[in-house]
């Protein structure tokens, strides 16, 4: 190793980690993961070792396991699901004169890895002197194709630097790769121990295929590889296939200064229903297509795809290069998570690691789909189609819970509830409103009538029915929703959660409107005119508790009467609190894990006055510990709205850098998609002040003092436009499509080809809010004025 510092280098369009750091491998494998929403491959070295936690994931492919309960209860889910590390096709082992290329031995004189946000590739360069003194340069580049969703390609180049050298390459398909599970549940670990049963293997020439099936969930996966070899003469190859291993071996003497170049094409497919021959044919066909396109062709397609994305979605920040990089990193990974999901979920970690067992949560709809709706709406649509495809399971779950309509799961891969602790899972019914909200947002942003007829109305109507059976009119005619859990996981099973009730009211109103727009769908669902009336009445009479004495909204009824958490006697090492205090204690006190009422201030901002927002924000700032990655972005958005711009900037920094700084010390298990989405939200909804209530687009731009300029782009109903923010003015510019009607700080305005520049009115936010001691965000802007010295959140 050279003496250069390890860690990420700042650059606008790529992420580079220089030097090897074996103890950091597991987390850099997450940040350097490639994916397209269908396939995900962690950034493990081709040579297999050293490694952190290797992982190759196919969206929707999981194994089942029992969920154990010391005290079981009616309706508890019996089976869990966990994402499976499928056949690893990226393995290319190198032997240099019989010595395995392994950077833990010998000397790596240079080593860097680069994720390129415009090329869509991960590149690695290593110069290595083997323990016996052989000097080689290895350069690898790989991509998971955005354009050919079943395809992965790797280019592997080796050059002897000091002498003619015998090189051997072993290019593998490796199933049931041994990995250490870091789950504490022995049943999950057992399910992941050799999860794949071999069904078929075949190898010929440079090609091989392995077909496996999971033992309990019964899903079938096929992986195939083909190779192109460019090498000096004298090449010798063999290929073989066993149950869990197919291997192409290449042996050749390479003269000094010459390059052995291997291009490996991989194709993956899985199915719950298709036969072995059908699945094999599918991956063979994908492979044939990839080989026909060729390496350069795949690279070119990849760049074209990304050019188009960045044209729609790019964000420019002047004045903070690290944040600029983080924001593009975030957008790139969101694209990777959602681009080609095609009616599968977008998991909480995308396909970057095994965290959360690979489950999708409400954060996909509430955070990630906001970004995709305005940057890649077809990906948002596909994710919502997945939800629609799980409606039968959601209806079954509702029936099991004694409810009508559809109850979407707290966590799942296939749509069935996998949450084993109902107060924090099943009771969080807001997930169904969050999904409906994403449907409403998508419909408003695209006018996609086909989606509304095919999926949207049904989701809205079935979730509206859920709310009607979940709530009831009390003796004063108010519609109450009792005993549910809101977004904040440090409270549970409370009455009339403000966020839930406001989101449910929107769900009910929008369901009625959608049923009226699509009467044939409504009729097919048996929705009656009386039902529409009931929905609207429940929405109109929805109980929203308010604490007049304190002038704030209680998160749920009674919340503001609860005991304050004793922050003064909570040492910093006790965070996250859930690892050091029982739920019982957290639930009954005024301590907030993540934005809940504050999330309502954002998503249901039209239900609060500016004064209420300011008071509520200050009240909950003092009680929010941000033990969740689902909080900083929302706090950034509302801090910006109420005028605490430097605080908003700090929260934006935390959200955007959650993974690059490993704020929660768990990036090794995958990236936090919602935090990455939070980078976009902090800018667009925060400093851009973008709100999309009722399909109207309002902006209230403001610049934090640390930045000189922000420019972001969005797409609404096919029109792309840019918003450029300076300290005193904002400029709106149409990039393509028809003019768009918006408001700027409440003033109506048309975004057309001719840029419109409007002044930004001043705001006096009043005194800075206080966070719990030690829980203020890391100060990003050195001049931000805060009453006490902040301490990093983790």
Which residues are near a copy of itself by CB under 8 A? 67-76, 80, 184-185, 187, 400-402, 419-424, 426-427, 471-472, 474-475, 480, 482-484, 492-493, 495, 549, 557-558, 561-563, 578-585, 587-589
Kindly state the smallest distance separating residue 598's Cβ from a copy of itself, in Å. Answer: 22
**CA-based nearest residue to 604, from 469, 510, 725, 536:** 510
Residue 573: active-site member? no
List of E strands, 175-318? 196-204, 207-214, 220-230, 236-241, 245-254, 260-271, 315-318
**Which tokens belong to 580?**
């050091």
Kindly state the smallest distance separating residue 357's Cβ from a copy of itself, in Å. Answer: 11
* Residues in a beta bridge with 111: 126
Bridge pairing between strands 196-204 and 207-214:
antiparallel
Spatial separation of the C-alpha atoms in residues 681 and 139, rounded to whole Å: 37
**CA-based nearest residue to 318, from 731, 705, 745, 8:** 705
Q: Which is nearer to a copy of itself, 67 or 298 (CB)?
A: 67
Kindly state the smallest distance separating residue 644's Cβ from a copy of itself, in Å. Answer: 27
**Residue 35 CB partners (closer than 8 Å, separation 6+):** 41, 57, 144, 336, 337, 350, 351, 352
Kindly state the smallest distance separating residue 61's Cβ from a copy of itself, in Å. Answer: 21
Spatial separation of the C-alpha atoms in residues 595 and 593, rounded to whole Å: 7
Q: Which is nearer to a copy of itself, 211 or 418 (CB)?
A: 418
Secondary structure (3-state) at 265? strand
Kindly state the smallest distance separating residue 356's Cβ from a copy of itself, in Å. Answer: 12
Kindly state the smallest distance separating residue 543's Cβ from a copy of itself, in Å. Answer: 9
Q: What are phi and psi of 350, to 5 degrees?
A: 60, -140
C-alpha pair distances (Å), 50 with each of 55, 351, 377: 14, 21, 39
Widest distance between CA atoms in the chain: 89
Spatial separation of the C-alpha atoms in residues 164 and 641, rounded to whole Å: 65
Kindly state the smallest distance separating residue 583's Cβ from a copy of itself, in Å. Answer: 5
C-alpha triplet 379, 385, 391: angle, nearest 5° = 155
61-73 burial code (b ≥16 CB/10 A, e <16): bbbbbebeeeeee
Tell me which of 489, 621, 641, 654 is the catalytic residue.
489
Q: Which is nearer to a copy of itself, 32 or 575 (CB)?
A: 575
Q: Which is nearer to a copy of itself, 265 or 587 (CB)?
A: 587
C-alpha triplet 212, 213, 214: angle, nearest 5° = 130
Spatial separation of the C-alpha atoms in residues 510 and 462, rounded to whole Å: 12
Q: Which is nearer to a copy of itself, 34 or 427 (CB)?
A: 427
Q: Which is nearer to a copy of itself, 478 or 536 (CB)?
A: 478
Spatial separation of the C-alpha atoms in residues 105 and 95, rounded to whole Å: 13
Q: Which is nearer to a copy of itself, 576 or 643 (CB)?
A: 576
Q: Which is nearer to a copy of itself, 273 or 475 (CB)?
A: 475
C-alpha pair distances (Å), 245 with each of 85, 173, 211, 281, 613: 15, 6, 11, 19, 59
The 3-state secondary structure of 539-581 reads HHCECCCCECCCCECCCCCCHHHCEECCHHHCCHHHCCHHHCC
**Which tokens belong to 471?**
């709530």
Spatial separation of the C-alpha atoms in residues 27 and 48, rounded to whole Å: 16
Q: Which is nearer to a copy of itself, 478 or 517 (CB)?
A: 478
Kindly state the smallest distance separating residue 420's Cβ from a copy of itself, in Å. Answer: 3
Spatial separation of the C-alpha atoms in residues 726 and 214, rounded to whole Å: 55
| Cβ atoms of residues 427 and 452 within 8 Å | no
Kindly state the smallest distance separating residue 579's Cβ from a copy of itself, in Å. Answer: 6
Spatial separation of the C-alpha atoms in residues 586 and 566, rounded to whole Å: 11
| Cβ atoms of residues 596 and 497 within 8 Å | yes
Kindly state the smallest distance separating residue 668's Cβ from a copy of itself, in Å. Answer: 20
C-alpha triplet 676, 598, 398: angle, nearest 5° = 80
Kindly state the smallest distance separating residue 482's Cβ from a copy of itself, in Å. Answer: 4
Spatial separation of the C-alpha atoms in residues 659 and 664, rounded to whole Å: 8
C-alpha triplet 301, 360, 77: angle, nearest 5° = 145
| Residues catalogued as catalytic | 489
């Amino acid at each position: 190793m050279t003496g250069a510092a390890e860690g990420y280098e700042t650059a606008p369009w790529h992420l580079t980690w220089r030097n090897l750091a074996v103890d950091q491998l597991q987390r850099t494998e997450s940040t350097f993961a490639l994916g397209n929403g269908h396939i995900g491959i962690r950034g493990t070295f081709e040579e297999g070792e050293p490694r952190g936690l290797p992982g190759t994931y196919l969206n929707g492919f999981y194994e089942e396991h029992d969920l154990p309960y010391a005290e079981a209860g009616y309706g508890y889910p019996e089976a869990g699901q966990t994402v499976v590390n499928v056949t690893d096709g990226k393995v290319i082992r190198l032997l240099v004169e019989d010595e395995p290329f392994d950077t833990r031995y010998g000397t790596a004189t240079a080593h860097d890895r680069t994720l390129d946000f415009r090329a869509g590739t991960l590149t690695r360069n290593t110069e290595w002197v083997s323990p016996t003194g052989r000097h080689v340069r290895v350069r690898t580049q790989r991509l998971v194709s955005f354009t050919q969703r079943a395809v992965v390609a790797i280019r592997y180049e080796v050059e002897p630097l000091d002498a003619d050298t015998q090189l051997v390459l072993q290019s593998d398909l490796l199933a049931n790769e041994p990995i250490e599970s870091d789950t504490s549940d022995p049943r999950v670990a057992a399910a992941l121990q050799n999860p794949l049963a071999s069904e078929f293997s075949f190898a010929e020439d440079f090609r091989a295929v392995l077909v496996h099936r999971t033992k309990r969930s019964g899903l079938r996966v096929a992986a195939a590889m083909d190779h192109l070899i460019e090498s000096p003469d004298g090449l010798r190859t063999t290929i073989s296939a066993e149950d869990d291993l197919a291997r192409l071996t290449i042996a050749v003497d390479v003269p000094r200064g010459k390059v052995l170049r291997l291009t490996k094409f991989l194709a993956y497919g899985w199915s719950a229903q298709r036969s072995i021959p059908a699945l094999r044919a599918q991956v063979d066909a994908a492979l044939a297509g990839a080989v026909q396109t060729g390496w350069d062709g795949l690279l070119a397609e990849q760049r074209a795809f990304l050019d188009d994305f960045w044209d729609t979605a790019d964000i420019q920040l002047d004045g903070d290069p690290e944040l600029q990089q983080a924001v593009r990193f975030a957008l790139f990974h969101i694209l990777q998570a959602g681009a080609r999901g095609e009616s599968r979920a977008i998991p909480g970690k995308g396909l970057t690691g095994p965290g959360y067992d690979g489950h999708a949560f409400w954060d996909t709809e509430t955070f990630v789909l906001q970004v995709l709706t305005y940057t890649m709406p077809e990906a948002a649509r596909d994710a919502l189609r997945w939800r629609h495809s799980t409606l039968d399971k959601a209806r079954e779950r509702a029936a099991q819970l004694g409810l009508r309509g559809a109850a979407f799961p707290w966590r799942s891969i296939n749509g069935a509830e996998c949450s084993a602790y109902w107060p924090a899972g099943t009771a969080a019914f807001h997930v169904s409103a969050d999904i409906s909200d994403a449907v409403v947002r998508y419909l408003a942003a695209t006018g996609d009538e086909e989606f509304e007829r095919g999926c949207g109305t049904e989701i809205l109507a079935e979730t509206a029915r859920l709310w009607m059976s979940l709530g009831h009119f009390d003796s004063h005619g108010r519609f109450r929703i009792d005993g549910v859990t809101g977004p904040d996981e440090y409270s549970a099973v409370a009455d009339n959660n403000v966020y839930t009730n406001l989101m449910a009211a929107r769900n009910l109103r929008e369901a009625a409107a959608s049923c009226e727009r699509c009467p044939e769908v409504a009729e097919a669902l048996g929705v009656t005119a009386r039902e529409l009336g009931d929905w609207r009445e429940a929405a109109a009479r929805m109980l929203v508790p308010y604490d007049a004495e304190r002038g704030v909204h209680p998160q749920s009824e009674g919340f503001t009467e609860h005991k304050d958490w004793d922050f003064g006697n909570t040492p910093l090492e006790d965070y996250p609190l859930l690892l050091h205090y029982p739920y019982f204690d957290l639930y009954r006190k005024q301590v907030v894990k993540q934005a809940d009422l504050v999330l309502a201030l954002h998503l249901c901002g039209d239900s609060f006055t500016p004064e209420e927002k300011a008071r509520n924000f200050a009240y909950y700032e003092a009680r929010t510990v941000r033990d969740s990655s689902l909080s900083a972005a929302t706090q950034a958005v509302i801090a910006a709205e109420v005028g605490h711009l430097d605080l908003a900037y700090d929260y934006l920094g935390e959200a955007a850098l959650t993974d690059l700084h490993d704020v929660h010390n768990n990036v090794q298990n995958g990236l936090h998609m919602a935090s990455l989405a939070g980078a976009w939200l902090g800018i667009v909804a925060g400093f851009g002040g973008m709100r999309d209530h009722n399909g109207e687009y309002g902006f209230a731009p403001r610049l934090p003092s640390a930045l000189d300029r922000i420019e972001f782009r969005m797409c609404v109903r096919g029109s792309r436009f840019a918003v450029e923010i300076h300290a005193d003015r904002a400029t709106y510019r149409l990039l393509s499509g028809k003019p768009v009607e918006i408001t700027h700080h409440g003033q109506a305005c048309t975004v057309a080809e001719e840029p419109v520049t409007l002044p930004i009115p001043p705001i006096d936010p009043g005194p800075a809010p206080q966070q719990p001691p030690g829980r203020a965000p890391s100060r990003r802007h050195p001049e931000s004025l805060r009453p006490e010295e902040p301490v990093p959140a983790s």
